[in-house]
Amino acid sequence: MKIARSMAILGLVCFASVANAAEKLTVYSYRQAFLVEPILANFTKETGIDVDVVFSKKGIAERMMREGRLSPADIVLTSDFSRLMELVDKDLVIPVDSEALKTNIPAKYRSPQDNWYALTMRVRNIYSSKDRLGKLDINYEDLADPKYKGKICTRSGKHPYNISLVASMIAHHGEAEAKTWLEGWKANLARKPQGNDRAQVKAVKEGLCDIAIGNSYYLGKMLQDPKQVPWAEAVEINFPNQDNRGSHINVSGMALAKHSKHQDNAIKLMEYLSSTAAQKDYAEINMEYPVKADVKPSDLVASWGEFKADELPIFKLAEYHNAAVKLLDEVKFDL
């Protein structure tokens, strides 16, 4: 009898949770909830539209494919470009034809078919130890230079940020040369790839390595956390390949889910995220480079100086994504 009762309660709970999904927007996000929640809260304040965020590190595309036309997702936020392309390739998103979006977001940061829009830009920087190396005029190619043997720290090669970097090397140098470079880089590692971008900077501070690979905004984030300030202060931030093609950049972005049931509100949210207010938040809270031309990066980010960005169109990177993953396996980068 007890079982029957608990089953009944369980059934009610399940259906109740399905039933209250009325006029809410649902965001599937690859971005950490705490990064996007403040911005979404402002949107709710402004429009009265509630937003639910489902955060996943991986597998959002798979989830949406499975959910098909029943998917509750309205918008997908990604922290990396390859994920945007994956959504497009798997036919999970639809074009948004919005004047506001096109005005706010420059052409090079959106899809020619309007089916994805970038929101922020970040650089894959090379950090160097202030004491032991100082500021460097360095190229990604130099990561394989034997003079740095045992001096480099990085997170897993399989992380999207590193996959994109490898993909850009394939795009510029071809697969064979990229493989040689990757082997050289692996040979220079101070320890097997582990931890996140911040942990690499911490390792530099501790003297475990002299060079760390990491995204630009992490330096800003570390300066906001009292415990991590000493880590950030132990490194110089370098923008690689300034004398040639420019630094590898990646973008975070958004797309409208194909089966969104609240398209009008979803487009409102997309427009809001490209607006000056939200772009300012991205710049100030997350220390990223806003894509909207008239919004300036935060003072701190600006203080790192101007830099030359790699002009390779971001969607070209997507073509080499799978090749990059395979290369990483072949050279056993993480093992």
Partner 1 sequence: MILGLSRTWSLVGYLIAAIIILPLLAIIAQAFVPDEDVFGHLFNTVLPTYISNTILLMLGVCICALLIATPAAWLVAKCHFPGRKAFQWALLLPLAMPAYVVAYVYTDLLDYAGPVQKTLRFWFDWQAPGDYYFPEIRSLAGASVVLALVLFPYIYLLARTAFMEQSSSLQHASRVMGCGPWQSFWRLSLPMARPALAVGASLVAMETAADFATVSYFAVPTLTTAVYDTWLGYGSLSAAAKLSAIMLLVIFSMIGFERFARRKQQLFQKQSGPNETSVSKLTGLNAVLATAYCSLLLLFSFLLPFVILLQYAWDYFDESWNAAFWEYSFNSLYIAAIVSVIAVCIGVLLIFIQRISPRVSDILPSRLASTGYALPGTVLAIGILVPFTMLDFAVNDLYEYFGQAGPGLVFTGSVFIIIFAFCIRFSAIAIGSVENSYKRISPSLDMAAITMGLKPKALLWRVHMPLLRKGIFAGLLLVFIECMKELPAALLLRPVGFENLATYVFQFVSDEQLEHGALAAIVIVLVGLVPLIYLNRSLEQEN
| Binding site residue list for Fe cation | 217-218
> Which one, 72 or 184, has the nearer CB to partner 1?
72
Least CB distance from residue 113 to partner 1, whole Å?
Answer: 21
Nearer to partner 1 among residue 82 and residue 274 (C-beta): 82
Q: How far apart are CA 309 and CA 318, in angstroms?
A: 18
Please tell me what DSSP assigns to residue 176: H
- Residue 77 to residue 96: CA distance in whole angstroms: 15
**Nearest alpha carbon to residue 331 among 163, 148, 181:** 181
Q: How far is the CB of 264 from partner 1 (least distance, A)?
A: 19
Binding mask 42-71 for partner 1 (x = CB under 8 A): ----------xxxxxxxx-xx---xxx-xx
Residues 119, 274 contacting (CB under 8 angstroms): yes
User: Using CB under 8 A, which of 23, 137, 177, 206 touches partner 1?
Assistant: 206
Least spacing, CB of residue 100 vs partner 1, in Å: 27
Q: Contact at 8 Å (CB) between 164 and 81?
A: yes
Contact 208, 190 (CB under 8 A): yes
User: Measured between alpha carbons, how far is 294 from 88 in angstroms, rounded to an integer?
Assistant: 28
- d(CA 106, CA 241) in angstroms, rounded, equals 24
246 is a site residue for partner 1 (CB under 8 A): no
Look at residues 330, 306, 15 and name the one whose alpha carbon lies nearest to residue 181: 330
d(CA 236, CA 303): 12
Find the binding residues for partner 1 in span 129-158 (CB under 8 A).
Answer: 156, 158
Size of the site for partner 1 (CB under 8 A): 58
First to last CA, the chain: 54
- According to the binding rule CB under 8 A, does residue 259 interact with partner 1? no
Give 218's strand partners: none
User: How near is the Cβ of 130 to partner 1 at its closest, in Å?
Assistant: 16
When the beta carbons of 155 and 268 are compared against partner 1, the nearer one is 155
Of 33 and 229, the one with the shorter C-beta distance to partner 1 is 33
Does 104 interact with partner 1 (rule: CB under 8 A)?
A: no
User: Binding of partner 1 at residue 260 (CB under 8 A)?
Assistant: no
Q: Does 208 bind partner 1 (CB under 8 A)?
A: yes
- Considering the complex, what minimum distance in angstroms separates the CB of residue 246 from partner 1? 28
Q: Which residues pair with 125 in a beta bridge?
A: 214
In whole angstroms, what separates CA 263 from the centre of its chain? 25
Q: Of these, 18, 22, 107, 176, which contacts partner 1 (CB under 8 A)?
A: 18
Member of 49, 102, 114, 195 binding partner 1 (CB under 8 A):
195
| Residue 191 Cβ vs partner 1, minimum distance, rounded to whole Å | 8
Q: Please choose, out of 30-38, 100-108, 243-251, 295-303, the segment that lies near partner 1 by the rule CB under 8 A.
A: 30-38
The one among 101, 126, 203, 237 contacting partner 1 by CB under 8 A: 203
Residue 263 within binding range of partner 1, rule CB under 8 A: no
Dump the DSSP string for 106-156.
Answer: -GGGB-TTSS-EEEEEEEEEEEEETTTT-S----GGGGG-GGGTT-EE---
CA distance 190 to 38: 37
- Please say which residue, 105 or 163, places its beta carbon nearer to partner 1: 163
> DSSP 3-state assignment of 198?
helix
CA 233 to chain centre: 24
Q: By the criterion CB under 8 A, which residues form the site for partner 1?
A: 2-3, 6, 10, 13-15, 17-18, 21, 26, 32-34, 52-59, 61-62, 66-68, 70-72, 86, 90, 156, 158, 190-196, 198-199, 202-203, 205-208, 227, 322, 325-326, 329-330, 332, 334-335
